[in-house]
Structure 1
Amino acid sequence: MKRVKMLILLARRDAIGERVKITMRELADELGISPQSVLRLLDEMEGDGLIERFVEGKKTYVEITPKGLAFLEDLCDAISEVLYNGVIIGEVISGIGEGAYYVRQYSHLIKEYLGFEPYPGTLNVKVIFPKTVFDALCNVRPVILPGFVREGRTFGDVKAYRVRIGNVEGAIVIPSRTVHPPKIAEIVAPVYLRKELGLRDGSKITIRVVKE
C-alpha cells in the first residue's frame, strides 16, 4: 500500500517522463511516515525497478520507470474493473417536466429498437456512484435511436443503454443534445417506475446496466 501511495504521489508531482526534485521531509509529511521510512521505501522501490533516483550535490531527483508506470496502469485497470462494472447508485429526483413529451416523440423507436412500449415519462436519478453516468456506461455499447424530422422539427439521435431496476427492465436514454448534466440519469421503462417500485423523491435505488 505504501508503494502505491508513493507512486501516486510521485505521479502527481509530474515524475512521469522527467525527473522531479524531492525531499524526504516533504514526502514524509504527505505520506504520514518518518523520513527514515521514506528513504527505506525509496530504496526498495528503486531495487524493484519502479523508480530511478538521481543525486546532484545535495539535491535528489526521482523519476517513475516504465515498470512503475505499468504497475500504475495495471492498478488503474483493476480498480476500474471493480468500480465501473455497470452499477449505478442514485437518488430519485423530479425532472423538469419535458420527459413525457420526448418519450411520446420517440415511442415508436423505443418500441422498435428496445422492444417495449414506454410509459410516457422518465424517471430522473441523480447519480451518487460512480462520479457520472458516463463512468458506468463507458464499456457498454448503446442502442442508437436514429433522429428524425417531424412537422418541421428535427429530433436528434438518442443513445439508449439497457438497464434493470429491481425486476423491471428499461433503458437510460441520453439525447445527442441533452440538457441534463452527466450526474443525472434519465430512464424510460414500460411501466410507471415510481408507482411500480414505490419510489419518491429522495429514494435510493440501484441501477444495473444490462450488457449484451
Structure 2
Amino acid sequence: MEEELWFTLFTLAKMGAQSKTLDISSTKLGKKMNISQQTASRRLQQLEEKGWLVRKITRKGQLVRLTDQGMNMLLEIYLWLQTIFDKKPPILIIEGELFSGMREGGYYISVNGYNRQFKEKLGFDPYPGTLNLRLKSYSDLQTKKLLLNYPGILIDAFENKGRTFGQVKCFKTRINDKVDGAVLLIQRTHYGEDVLEVISPLYLREKLKLKDGEKIRLKIFLSHVEEKGS
C-alpha cells in the first residue's frame, strides 16, 4: 500500500505538484497511472490524510499540491536509491559540542525492548548511557536535517507494562575516527533539534578522555555497514 502511495506522489510531482497547485481530476490521474478513477480518487484521499498533499475540491475536479512532508517522502525515496546505486557508501560528517544531558539515556538503552534490538540490528551491546552533542553551526544543523530523511536502521516502537516506547532511527558512526558506535534519531525526546545522541559498546567519556565543551567529530555511514578504513 505504501509503495502505491509513493508512486502516486511521484507521479503528481512529475506533473508539477511539487512547485505549483495542480488542477487535476481523479479520472485524469487514473488514466496517467493506468488505474481506475475510483482507485485514483482513493489514493488522493489517502495522501491528504497522511499530510503528504493538500487539496481543494472544485466543480471540475480538484486542486492539489505536495506539502513539505510529501516532498520529504520523495527525498527519502531518492536517498534510498542513492544508497543502492552509489558505488561507495555515502558518508556525512557532523561536529558537535559535548554536554551533560538529563542522564535518562542509560535507562532507555537498558529497557529490554530497545536493548535487544540494539544488539540484533547494530551488532553490539551498548554502554548504558548516551553521548550528547549540541550542534552549533548552521552547516551541522542542516546536515542533521538531511540525515533525518535518509533511511536508517529502525528500532521498532513497542509497549512495556502499559507504556509506549517510540521508534528510533539509527546510523552507524565513528567517533573522533577512533571508536565505532551509532547515532540515534529518537522519535520522542526532551532535546531540541540541535542535539544528537550517540551510543557505543564503550564508555566513551572514559575511553576517549572527553570533557564537556569538547568538539566531537562524527563520521556517519548512510549505508547499514560502515566502510572499513574510512
Does residue 103 (structure 1) correspond to residue 109 (structure 2)? The answer is yes
**Which residue number in structure 1 is paired with residue 162 of structure 2?**
152
In the superposition, the TM-score normalised over structure 2's length comes to: 0.53
**Which residue number in structure 2 is paired with residue 118 of structure 1?**
126
In the superposition, the TM-score normalised over structure 1's length comes to: 0.57
Does residue 164 (structure 1) correspond to residue 174 (structure 2)? The answer is yes
What does 1:73-92 align with in structure 2 at a 5 Å threshold?
86-92=92-98
Q: 1:128 Cα deviation (Å)?
A: 2.6
**Which residue number in structure 1 is paired with residue 33 of structure 2?**
none
Letter in 1 for 2:132: N
Does residue 204 (structure 1) correspond to residue 215 (structure 2)? The answer is yes
What does 1:1-212 align with in structure 2 at a 5 Å threshold?
86-105=92-111, 106-129=114-137, 130-132=140-142, 134-135=144-145, 137-138=147-148, 140-165=150-175, 166-212=177-223
SS in 1 for 2:136: strand
* Partner Cα distance (1:85, 1:160) in 2: 14
C-alpha spacing 1:96/1:146, structure 2 compared with 1 (3 Å): same
Letter in 2 for 1:172: V
Larger Rg: 1
Check the 8 A contact 2:156/2:167 in 1, yes or no.
yes
* Partner Cα distance (1:118, 1:155) in 2: 18
Q: 1:139 Cα deviation (Å)?
A: 5.8
* Partner Cα distance (1:211, 1:176) in 2: 19
- Deviations, residues 76-127 of structure 1 (Å, cap 9, x unaligned): xxxxxxxx96111111000011111111111111001111000000000111
Q: CA RMSD in A?
A: 2.2
* Partner Cα distance (2:208, 2:167) in 1: 29
Query: Which of structure 1's runs of 4+ aligned residues deviate more than 6 A?
Result: none
Aligned pair count?
131
C-alpha spacing 1:169/1:98, structure 2 compared with 1 (3 Å): same
Q: Which runs of 5+ in 2 are unaligned?
A: 1-19, 21-89, 224-230
Letter in 2 for 1:89: E
SS in 2 for 1:86: strand
Identity level (%): 38
Letter in 2 for 1:160: C
Q: 1:136 Cα deviation (Å)?
A: 5.1
C-alpha spacing 1:98/1:132, structure 2 compared with 1 (3 Å): farther
Check the 8 A contact 1:88/1:128 in 2, yes or no.
no
Q: 1:190 Cα deviation (Å)?
A: 0.5
* Partner Cα distance (1:86, 1:210) in 2: 7
Check the 8 A contact 1:88/1:136 in 2, yes or no.
no
Check the 8 A contact 1:133/1:184 in 2, yes or no.
no
